[in-house]
Chains A and B, each alone.
Chain A
Amino acid sequence: MIRAELSKLVSLPATWTTLAWTLAANVLLTFVIAVGDAPVAYSRAGFIVLGVLATCSEYTGGQIRTTLTAMPRRVRQLAAQHAALAVVTLPASLVVALSGPLITMVVAGTPVALWQVAETTAYLTLLTLVSAAVGVLLRHTLAGVGLLLGCLFVAAPFVHEYLPDDLVTLVVSTPVLLIVAALAYRRRDA
């Protein structure tokens, strides 16, 4: 099932264009802002798009019906889809997380903070999974991306002081949202 979901994800051209644009934007921003992984604050938007697309693309051309007739055990299928997304996202996050600090090292000679790269990689991967879960709930790409960007760039700065560290917030919210999405997905009419 994971192989089927992987095959689905990598044969979607939007997966690759989103990742390519995200990396390009991150590299460009690093030259503009020129401080390590700061550009990730903006380029994480690309991972939101990737996550939402992974689940919302099911609702284009009636693909969801093909998916659910081929893999009718819905919770397992959804889990496989998220696992496949993680398999693709983890290395992509690492590349993006590493790109900024590497450029800074080459240009300014600042050493790469490996722990920070690992943290950023985990952050981006979890953010992608959360986005996929939101996509499952909303079933609409633009609505999903809009909502998540709104949360991250508009709402988050206001509530920031009441929340723990970004990564901790994600570590807690990811499983919660995944479970909520799975419960909704299991019961509803496709």
Chain B
Amino acid sequence: MWSGRPAGWLGGVITIDGLVKRRGGKEILAGIGFEARPGRVTGFLGPNGAGKSSTLRILLGLDRAQAGTALVDGVPYPALPDPVRTVGAVLDGSGAHRSRTGRAHLRWVARSAGLPPARVEEVLTLVGLADAAGKRVGGYSLGMGRRLALATALLGDPSVLVLDEPLNGLDPEGIRFVRTFLRDRAQSGRTVLLSSHLMGELAETVDDVVVIDHGRIVAKGTLAEVTGAHRNLEDAFFALTSGSGR
């Protein structure tokens, strides 16, 4: 597919293949496989408990799969030469200790990748947290915590963004900001992979869709392909997951 990389190619192909995860005798993932490509926003959709977070955690090297591979540009996450500049991850919560200030949190992450302190100020401004940077994370609202997580993910200006339920806990303004922002990232040739259990929220944001239910992929393709004959993505989703989603 990528015969001859075009000029300005940033990389960032996510390839997930045959992931199996069992926890306490229960099979959480039963052979998950899909691809997320540069220049596109890929929506990873499924009801709560379908295995979305587990898949993303394995992709990020946080959890271990019993079988299968999850690669970024052909490399497992822990082997990436420069993870902070390659992948930015936004998982649930802020990912920061509550007694540190937002700025101090970003500073240690920046330091781990050899990024200058000026970059910390840049991402703080970018997500609209500049005024709260000196406050302790414990005093942040849910939305501010999410913004801090996004700022952390953006520190290395990575070619891939992986976001788990990025719209959770955001106010309408925040939702609009994140949507526009993610579209812009994809437009500039980067890869965006985001999970969600909210179908309606995503139809305007995603290019490709992967639907997961009970640890199995039940549909994947472009938004139009997955929506198919259904009225919209939400209807398609409920038909595909036999109404197990709420």
Contacts and interface: CB of A to CB of B under 8 A. Distances in A.
Are A and B subunits of one complex?
A: yes
B93 A72 contact: no
B35 interface: no
B112 to A, nearest CB: 4
B89 interface: yes
A11 B83 contact: no
Interface string A125-150: 00000000000000000000000000
B159 interface: no
A109 interface: no
Interface stretch (A30-38, A58-66, A113-121, A162-170): A58-66
A160 interface: no
Contacts of A13: 99
A176 to B, nearest CB: 25
Given A11-B104, A69-B87, A71-B112, A62 B61 contact: no
A114 B196 CA distance: 63
A61 B109 contact: no
Given A14-B99, A62-B94, A69 B62 contact: yes
Contact of B63 (A5, A72, A190): A190
Contacts of A3: 111
Interface in A55-82: 57, 60-63, 65-66, 68-74
A13 B107 CA distance: 15
B95 interface: yes
Contacts, number: 85
Nearest to B98: A61
Q: Size band of the A side of the interface?
A: 20 to 34
A4 B61 contact: no
A72 B61 contact: yes
Contacts of A63: 95-97
Contacts of A187: 64
Contacts of B83: 69-72
Given A1-B112, A72-B78, A61 B62 contact: no
Contacts of A71: 83, 112
B96 A61 contact: yes
Q: Which 7 A-B pairs have the closest CB atoms?
A: A4-B112, A11-B104, A66-B95, A72-B78, A7-B108, A189-B63, A4-B111
12 contacts: A1-B112, A7-B104, A7-B108, A11-B104, A11-B108, A65-B91, A66-B95, A66-B96, A69-B89, A70-B109, A71-B83, A189-B57
Interface of B: 57, 60-64, 77-78, 80, 83-84, 87, 89, 91-101, 104-105, 107-109, 111-113, 137, 152
Given A11-B108, A12-B97, A62-B93, 19 more contacts: A1-B112, A4-B111, A4-B112, A11-B105, A14-B99, A60-B97, A61-B97, A62-B95, A65-B62, A66-B95, A66-B105, A66-B109, A68-B60, A70-B84, A70-B113, A72-B61, A72-B77, A72-B80, A72-B83
Interface of A: 1, 3-5, 7-8, 11-14, 57, 60-63, 65-66, 68-74, 187-190
